[in-house]
Amino acid sequence: MMRLISILIMLVAPLAAEAHRFAPSALDVRALANGEISVVWKTPAQASSNVPMLPVTPDGCEVLSETPWFPEGTGKVLRQQWSCASETLEGLSLTVSGLAANQSSAVVSVRPHPDVFFQEVLTVDNPSFLVPAQRSALATALHYLWLGAEHIAIGIDHLFFVGGLLLLVGWGTRLVYTVTAFTVGHSVTLALVSLGYVTNPEGLVEWLIAVSIWVLALELSRPERKSPMWEKPWYLAGAFGLLHGMGFAGALAETGLPQMHLPTALLFFNIGVEVGQLLFILLLAVLGNLIAKVSRAPWLQVAPIYLLGAVSTFWVLDRTSSLFG
């Protein structure tokens, strides 16, 4: 078990420092009450090609206004206002130029109405998105189920925390109690933040998530295993789960929730997170059995702890700089 987690953590560790640098571009398109269309394009400040990536104005539309580029976080932002003959987003084909030259992707978020939301990832193989009519409840459920699973799959910090919990509790009933506590914790805050009952200070939450991983690594490094965290780790998992749930809510806020199918979208996004989390744990179990047959090197038992500590320290310092800098 220890050997498996160490190898997986080391495989994803190089991605940690580069997570923001290689974030996909984002195109937010929404219909306004006056019939015009608001367009916000955000792309990384560091381009991998001289060919710019830009949203393409659809046929039948024209650009009414455009702001100069301005910095935002690790990227840069361009705002446009469109006027389209159809006066609706439905049926428009949204495209981003320069994806092939930059070997990049773009997340397109579309709001044709305040209570209707669509999202698609544009790639070289899938370069355009045709805005459809409103999704059914079933289509909404399947869409948000996938989004939840996708978020936990690319959420390196969340996976590090889950891997650290496995190092702390091992397998058996302790794992069941601990994962259940973590699930309950993040489900509560995900719902409260998404429904607007609790505000979400995203910068502070991201910093605290990094701190939670650092605290977990510190606890794993202790030679004695008699502290409350070792004896009853589900309390730790539940408390930090509240923080991670706010992180999930931040990602969901960027995606948006359809008001017409709000309970369905929220429920299935959370289920998707749980499915992704369980698949990750299952992956650890399968690979653990395979690796145990190949190597029993002692260093594999301590390497993941130091790696968790090093990566979480980097995250804490990096997010401290972003939060207070």
Q: CA 187 to CA 248: how far, in whole Å?
A: 9
CA–CA separation, 324 and 203 (whole Å): 9
With 60 as the cut, is the pLDDT of residue 15 above it?
no
Q: What is the pLDDT of residue 34?
A: 83
Strand partners, 225: none
The single-letter DSSP state of residue 257 is: -
Confidence of residue 300 (pLDDT cuts 50, 70, 90): low
Integer Cα distance of 207 and 103 in angstroms: 31
Cβ partners under 8 Å of residue 191, min gap 6:
266, 270
Residue 235 has pLDDT above 80, yes or no: yes
**Nearest-angstrom CA–CA distance, 249 and 269:** 10
% of residues, the chain, pLDDT over 90:
6
Q: What is the mean pLDDT of residues 302-321?
A: 81
Burial call 136-172: b when 16+ CB within 10 Å, e when fewer: eeeebbebbbbbbbebbbebbbbbbbbbbbbbbbeee
Q: Which of 34-48, 173-187, 282-296 bottoms out in mean pLDDT, i.e. has the lowest?
A: 282-296
CATH number at 25-104: 2.60.40
* Position 165 pLDDT exceeds 70: yes
Q: Is 250 helix (H, G, I), strand (E, B) or coil?
A: helix
Rounded average pLDDT over 44-56: 80
Q: Which helix (H) or strand (E) holds 81?
A: strand 75-84
pLDDT at 3: 46
Is the per-residue pLDDT at 6 higher than 70? no
Phi-psi region of 222 (alpha: psi -120 to 50; beta: other; left: phi over 0): beta
| Summary mean pLDDT of the chain | 79
Q: What is the mean pLDDT of residues 229-237?
A: 78
Q: How far apart are the first and last CA of the chain?
A: 39
> Is the model's pLDDT at 252 over the cut of 80?
no
Residue 3 Cα distances to 114, 175, 223, 300, 304, angstroms? 49, 17, 18, 5, 8
Map tokens 């700089």 to a residue: 321
pLDDT (0 to 100) of residue 266: 84
The region of weakest confidence among 182-191, 207-216, 223-232 is 223-232
The pLDDT of residue 16 is 45
Give yes or no for residue 195 having a pLDDT over 50.
yes
**Is 50 exceeded by the pLDDT of residue 305?**
yes
Span 78-91, pLDDT tens digits: 999 999 887 778 78
| Residue-range domain boundaries for the chain | 2-20+144-324, 25-104
Between 185 and 288, the more confident residue is 185
* Dihedral sign computed on CA atoms, order 167, 13, 100, 255: positive
Give the model's pLDDT for residue 308. 81
Confidence of residue 7 (pLDDT cuts 50, 70, 90): very low
pLDDT surpassing 90 at residue 21: no
Percent of the chain clearing pLDDT 70 (strictly above): 81
Taking residues 196-203, report their average pLDDT.
79
40 confidence band (pLDDT: 50, 70, 90): very high
